[in-house]
Amino acid sequence: MNGWWVSDYWNSPSFGPAFVVGWAVWVIGSIVLHELSHGWAALRLGDTTPRDLGHMTWNPLVHMGPWSLVAFAVVGIAWGMMPVDPSRLRGRHGDAVVAAAGPAMNIALGVVSAIGLVVWMVIGAGVGEPLRTNLAMFFRLGVILNIVLAVFNLLPVFPLDGGRIAASFSPAYARFAYGENGQWLMLGGFILFFMFGLDYVWLLAVLAADGVELIGAAVAP
């Protein structure tokens, strides 16, 4: 596939329109919930910045911004942002708690998707096509995407959540990460992982989804 991702997948006999719609729902929905989780955690710990700046909303335009939405339309990937003021957070590791809330939401969404896939394989056994396959694909995408998002965001590099978590627990790491040389190294590590490591995380997520399907097949009538 070397054209526009929407047309490539839409016209693919292996994927089709259901994949494109499911991918769009999961990418946008997972990002919005990921960012809202940061906001909920920040509010819980005393920082009202997310609410003050109007980010406690379900509107994906607010969380993703125009450039992220353009990137999604063009290449099928996107990102989000939740403004937080760490100085206003209660607790020694408040910033780590807020940072961890996003990946935790992705893990929860992945678990819900896995349960949904197993349940659908059981109750949807007698449902006709293409609904049976399309809904299974939808849940499968939820498992894969949210595993990838959780693992990716927990990498201990900035600007990812894992970098904020590591910096909160290690002052030495924080000094390194916020230093000029550290920032460049972090950027380099981020780019290298995105280019060469993401495929392995994706493979891990696909294998996890395959395992869920095996469980569903084992319990299906």
- 62's torsion region: left (phi>0), alpha (psi -120 to 50) or beta? alpha
Tokens 């499911």 — which residue? 22
- pLDDT band for 2, please (50, 70, 90 cuts): low
pLDDT per position as a tens digit, 141-177? 999 999 999 999 999 888 889 999 999 998 888 888 8
CA separation for the pair 194, 23 (Å, rounded): 19
Looking at residue 95, its pLDDT comes to 94
pLDDT greater than 80 at residue 125: no
CB atoms within 10 A of CB 81: 15
Sign of CA dihedral 47, 165, 202, 182: positive
- pLDDT band for 179, please (50, 70, 90 cuts): confident
pLDDT greater than 70 at residue 22: yes
Looking at residue 25, its pLDDT comes to 96
Q: Which domain holds residue 13?
A: 5-219
Q: Please report, rounded to a whole number, the percentage of residues in the chain having pLDDT higher than 70.
A: 99
Q: Report the domain count for the chain.
A: 1
